[in-house]
Structure 1
Amino acid sequence: MSDLIRSTSTWWAQSSKHARRTAIGTTAIVLVLGLITWTVWVSPSGPVSTAVSEALGVTPPAAKKVSATELQTKLTAAQKQVWALQGKLDSSSAQAGSRAEEIAKLKQQIASLQSDLGAAKSAAAGSAAAAAQAAAAGKKGGSGSGSGTGGSGSGSDGAHGGNAAAPNTGPSKDPVTTEPISTPSKAQVLAQQSRWYGLYTTQAPFNWSEYDRVSQEVGKATNMVGFFQGFDQDFNQTAVQRSWANGRLPMMTWETVPAKTGNDQAFVPGYTNQDVVSGKFDAYLTKYAQDLKANGMPLVIRLDHEMNGSWYNWSEGTKQQNAAGSYVAMWQHVWNVFQANGANDYVIWNWSPSRIDKLGNPKYQTLDYMRQYYPGAQYVDWVGMSGYYRTATEQPTFQTTFGATLAQIRKIAPGKGIVLNEIGATETGGTVTDSQKSQWITSLFDALADPANRDIIGFAYFSQVATTIVDGTRTTNDWRLDSRADSLATFVKGIARNDIDYDLQEVSK
C-alpha cells in the first residue's frame, strides 16, 4: 500500500494541516464572541452601560430598543458558528492543553450572553404585562411579572461539546449544528489507500475527553471511531455528525436487540432473526434509513457482529430460536429496506465474525459453518473480525489471535477489504519492560507491515476495561492502551512506523 498512500490534503483523515485549521478556528471563535461581547458593552440599553451610568450618578443614554427576539437571533447565529468551529477544535484539542482552556472560556462567555438574553426577555415580558394591565384598568402601573427562562439558545456543550451520554443510552438530545460538515462520499471512503485507525472509549463520540487523552498519549490522531446502538434506538444524527466534524469515520455496531441487553443474554423474545425478516421492524428500519439518507454522511454499520459464536441473540441455535439460514435472511432484509430508501448510498456494510479458535465447539470452527453466515458479496462492503488476546498461556502473537479466522474470511469473501473491527490485549503479566501485551502489540504492527496482509485496511482498538460473560464464565479484562507504561510505549512506537501505510495527524501533549 505504501506506493498508494493518500495525500494529506484529503481533509477527513487527520493530518498535520489540522493544526493550522485549529488556530484559524480558535481565532474565528474569539472574534465572534468578542464582537458580541463588545456589542453588549457599548449598547446604550445594555446592563453594563446602565450599571456604569448609575455608579457615576449620571443619566444613562437613551435606550435603543432591541427586542429579545433580535437578541436571540444574534445569539443563535453566534452559537451555531461556535458549535461548528468547536467541533473541529475538539479533535485537535489534544495538540495543546490551552485548547481546552479556550473552549471553557468560550462557554463562559456564551453563558453570560444567555443571561443577558434572559434578562431581556424578562424585561420584555414585564413591559407587556404592565401595558396589558394599564389598558384593562385605565391607569398606569403593572407588576412586571414576566419570567426570563434564558432563551432557547442552549448554553450546554451542545452538539459539539462534552455531552456525557454513553453510547447505548439512546439518541442525544443535544442540538445539532446546521452548519455544513464536509465529508467524503461512500466511494471515496472505500477507495482510501491509507489504513484506518480507530478507538473505542467509554463515551466517544459523545464525549471526546478520554478519546483525546489517549490520542495525546499515543501521539497520533485516529481517523475512525467506534460506538454501539441497539434496535430500540433511532438513527443517531448527533453521533455521526460529531464523528465527521472531528475528521473521523463513524463505525457503528448495530445489534438487533434493545440497547440495554446484557452481553450474556442469548435469547431476547421478540427480536429473533425471523421477527426482523417478517417485517415486524420495517417501520423502524424505514425511518432509520430515511433519516440516515437525509443526514447525507457515510456510516459504517457492523450489523450483528460475532454471529458465529453462541452468546448473542442473532446467532443460529436452539437457545436463540433462530433457524439455519435465518441470519443471512435477516441481514439481506435490512439491506433491502435500506436499498429501497436510498440509504445504501451512504452505508458501508461491515460483516464481522468472531475469532474462530476460541469458539469451543469444533463445529463452529469449520469453514462451512462460517460460510453459512455470509450474506453475499452484493450485501457486504467490508469484512472483518473481533479478536482479543486474553489468555496468558497462549502465544501473544498476531498469528495466534487472527491467523485462523483471517484464512477463512479470505476464502469466503475474496477481494473484500478487511477491518480488524474490535481488537485488544489484556494485561497477563510478563516483565516490567516487556509484558505479553507489549509483545502482542509489536506482533500486530509487524503483521501490518507484512505484504501478505495488504488486504487488512485498518483496525479499531477497544481501549476500555470490560467485564464479559461467555458460557457462564465471568471475566474482567483491562484492554486499555495505557494499562501499563511498556504497553503504551510499544503502541506509540508501532503506530508511528512508516511501513504500515498510515497517514495520521501527529498529536502533541
Structure 2
Amino acid sequence: MRLRERFRMTGAALACAMAGVLALGGCSLLGDDSGGSPESGGSAPRSSASTQDIPYDVTPLIKPAKKYYGAAVPGAPISMKNIDAYTARTGKQPNLIEYYAAWGDGFDATGVRNAWAEGALTLMSWEPFDTSLADIAAGRSDAYIKEYATAVRKLNLPVVMDFADEFNGHWEKWGTHDVTPAQYVAAWRHIHQTFVDVGATNVIWTWAPNIVNPVKNVRLKPYYPGDAYVDWIGLVGYFTIGQDNAFDSVFGPTRDEIRTFTRKPMLLLETAAMPGERRRADVRNLFAGVAADDDMLGFIWFDYKKRADWRLEASPLALTEFKRLAADDRFGFDVRKPS
C-alpha cells in the first residue's frame, strides 16, 4: 500500500487565496487489488441478505434516520489509527470515512473492511488524473473499470463512490477548462453501467460539485448524469475567511440550484472551517445547518493540514465546540444497523 499526495486547487482554495491563504485539499490513497440499475435508480434495491451471491442491499443506508458523522483523515481507512485519534479528540466515532483514490489504483478492500468493522462506511473519491473522460466514455479503460467493479462486487460490502468531483471548477484536470458537460455525463454513465453489468450494485453513487460561490457562471444541470445514475448529491465547500459564514450563504446557492432538477438527498462530502477567531462559530453553523435540513444526510470533516490547517486540533476552542455538538444523538450511528 502506497500513499501518493495529490495537491488539488479546490473551490475553498480560491476563497482562501482571496483571503491571502492558499488552501489545497485532497490526496490520493493507492488501494490494493483485493478483493442500482439505470431503470430503477442509482442503486437498485436488492434482497437484504448479504451473501456472495446476493449483492448487499444499500437501500437502508441511502436515507437513514440519523445523520452521517464523517471524517477524512490521513492514512484512513487502510489504517484506522488516525480515525481512533480523531474519535478520542471529538468524542465520537465517525461512521463515514473518505479517502482519495487515483485512477489506476486497485480497489482498497482492506480499508473498506477496516471501516466496516468499526461501524463506518467508506466513501471513495475517484480522481481520474491519468486519463481523460472522453477516453473513459469511449471504453478505453473498460478492462480497468471492470476489474475494479468486480473487486467491489466480490467484497460485497456497501461502498460510497464519487467520481471526478469538483467538475464545475477550472482547477481540476477534469474541470471546465478541459471537459464538456456531455463528456462528463458520458463517462459517469459508462462507469455506472459497467458496475451494473458485473452486478456491483452495492455502491452508493455520489455526484459531487464544488459549491457554486466561486464559479457562479457554471450551471450544474448539464453535468448531472440523471437520477437513474445517482443516489446522493455531495457538496464540496468550506467556511473561509473571505465569505459570509452563515450555513445558507455557504451552501444555500448550490443547494437551491440543484433542487431545480433533482430531489436526491445531499451530503456535505468535504468541508471544514479555516482556522481563526471565527472558527468556533463556523463549527456551530455547520452542525446547526445540517441538523435543520431533513434532506441533508450529514457531513465529512476534512481533517488535513495542507497549506491551510483544516485539522480540528489546530483550534482548541473550536475543537471543544465541535466535541460538544458531536455528542448530539442525531449525528452518527452504526452503519451495520442503520434502522
TM-score category by the smaller chain? 0.7 to 0.9
Is the Cα–Cα contact under 8 Å of residues 196 and 223 in structure 1 kept in the other structure?
Answer: yes
User: For the residues of structure 2 that align with 1:464 and 1:328, how far apart are their CA atoms?
Assistant: 30
Opposite residue 334 of structure 1, the aligned amino acid is I
Q: Tell me which residue corresponds to 2:14.
A: none
Q: Tell me which residue corresponds to 1:454.
A: 294
- Offset of 1:447 from its aligned partner? 1.6
Mind listing any 5+ residue stretches in structure 2 that lack a counterpart? 5-26, 36-50, 335-339
Matched, 1:301 2:301: no
Q: 1:193 aligns with which of 65, 77, 83?
A: 65
Is the Cα–Cα contact under 8 Å of residues 80 and 114 in structure 2 kept in the other structure?
Answer: no
User: For the residues of structure 2 that align with 1:354 and 1:494, how far apart are their CA atoms?
Assistant: 25
Is the Cα–Cα contact under 8 Å of residues 385 and 422 in structure 1 kept in the other structure?
Answer: yes
Is the Cα–Cα contact under 8 Å of residues 188 and 225 in structure 2 kept in the other structure?
Answer: yes
Matched, 1:341 2:202: no
Matched, 1:363 2:217: yes
Is the Cα–Cα contact under 8 Å of residues 211 and 235 in structure 2 kept in the other structure?
Answer: yes
- Offset of 1:393 from its aligned partner? 3.8
Q: 1:232 aligns with which of 73, 87, 104?
A: 104
User: For the residues of structure 2 that align with 1:449 and 1:237, how far apart are their CA atoms?
Assistant: 32
User: For the residues of structure 2 that align with 1:278 and 1:249, how far apart are their CA atoms?
Assistant: 31
User: For the residues of structure 2 that align with 1:273 and 1:503, how far apart are their CA atoms?
Assistant: 35
SS in 2 for 1:403: helix
Q: Tell me which residue corresponds to 2:47.
A: none
- Offset of 1:165 from its aligned partner? 5.1
Q: 2:133 aligns with which of 247, 253, 273?
A: 273
- Per-residue CA deviations over 1:344-373 (Å, capped at 9, x if unaligned) read x111100010011112xx422xxxx21000
TM-aligned CA distance change 1:477 to 1:493, over 3 Å: same
Is the Cα–Cα contact under 8 Å of residues 315 and 327 in structure 1 kept in the other structure?
Answer: no
Is the Cα–Cα contact under 8 Å of residues 2 and 29 in structure 2 kept in the other structure?
Answer: no
Q: Which moved more, 1:481-490 or 1:189-198?
A: 189-198
Matched, 1:384 2:234: yes
SS in 1 for 2:107: coil
SS in 2 for 1:465: coil
Is the Cα–Cα contact under 8 Å of residues 31 and 101 in structure 2 kept in the other structure?
Answer: no
Q: 1:444 aligns with which of 283, 286, 291?
A: 286
Mind listing any 5+ residue stretches in structure 1 that lack a counterpart? 1-162, 259-270, 431-435, 467-475
Q: Tell me which residue corresponds to 1:35.
A: none
Q: Tell me which residue corresponds to 1:91.
A: none
How do residues 20-99 of structure 1 correspond to structure 2 at under 5 angstroms? none
Q: 1:420 aligns with which of 268, 280, 283?
A: 268
How do residues 97-246 of structure 1 correspond to structure 2 at under 5 angstroms? 168=28, 170-172=30-32, 185-246=57-118
SS in 1 for 2:285: helix
Higher relative contact order (CA 8 A, sep 6+): 2
Opposite residue 217 of structure 2, the aligned amino acid is K
SS in 2 for 1:419: strand
- Offset of 1:172 from its aligned partner? 4.0
State TM-score, norm by structure 1.
0.55
- Offset of 1:184 from its aligned partner? 6.5
State TM-score, norm by structure 2.
0.81
How do residues 480-491 of structure 1 correspond to structure 2 at under 5 angstroms? 480-491=311-322
Q: Tell me which residue corresponds to 1:266.
A: none
Opposite residue 166 of structure 2, the aligned amino acid is E
- Per-residue CA deviations over 1:182-206 (Å, capped at 9, x if unaligned) read x963122224211111101111112
User: For the residues of structure 1 that align with 2:29 and 2:295, how far apart are their CA atoms?
Assistant: 35
User: For the residues of structure 2 that align with 1:324 and 1:228, how far apart are their CA atoms?
Assistant: 23
TM-aligned CA distance change 1:189 to 1:492, over 3 Å: same
- Offset of 1:503 from its aligned partner? 4.3
Opposite residue 283 of structure 1, the aligned amino acid is A
Opposite residue 331 of structure 1, the aligned amino acid is W
Q: Tell me which residue corresponds to 1:6.
A: none
- Per-residue CA deviations over 1:396-450 (Å, capped at 9, x if unaligned) read 2212211111111222212x111100001111x32xxxxx011111111222332
Is the Cα–Cα contact under 8 Å of residues 463 and 481 in structure 1 kept in the other structure?
Answer: yes
Q: Tell me which residue corresponds to 1:398.
A: 247
Opposite residue 400 of structure 1, the aligned amino acid is S
User: For the residues of structure 2 that align with 1:372 and 1:164, how far apart are their CA atoms?
Assistant: 36
SS in 1 for 2:313: coil
Q: 2:304 aligns with which of 449, 464, 468?
A: 464
Please identify which structure carries the higher helix content.
Answer: 1
Q: Percent identity?
A: 27
| Aligned length in residues | 295
User: For the residues of structure 2 that align with 1:445 and 1:214, how far apart are their CA atoms?
Assistant: 17
User: For the residues of structure 1 that align with 2:29 and 2:182, how far apart are their CA atoms?
Assistant: 31
Matched, 1:288 2:148: yes
User: For the residues of structure 1 that align with 2:208 and 2:323, how far apart are their CA atoms?
Assistant: 27
Q: Tell me which residue corresponds to 1:139.
A: none
SS in 1 for 2:259: helix
- Offset of 1:288 from its aligned partner? 1.0
Is the Cα–Cα contact under 8 Å of residues 28 and 102 in structure 2 kept in the other structure?
Answer: yes
- In our comparison, the structure showing a higher alpha carbon Rg is 1
Q: 1:326 aligns with which of 183, 187, 200?
A: 183
Is the Cα–Cα contact under 8 Å of residues 165 and 172 in structure 1 kept in the other structure?
Answer: no
- Offset of 1:479 from its aligned partner? 0.8
Is the Cα–Cα contact under 8 Å of residues 231 and 255 in structure 1 kept in the other structure?
Answer: yes
TM-aligned CA distance change 1:393 to 1:293, over 3 Å: closer
Is the Cα–Cα contact under 8 Å of residues 235 and 291 in structure 1 kept in the other structure?
Answer: yes
User: For the residues of structure 1 that align with 2:273 and 2:140, how far apart are their CA atoms?
Assistant: 39
Opposite residue 331 of structure 2, the aligned amino acid is Y
- What RMSD, in angstroms, separates the aligned Cα atoms of the two structures? 2.3
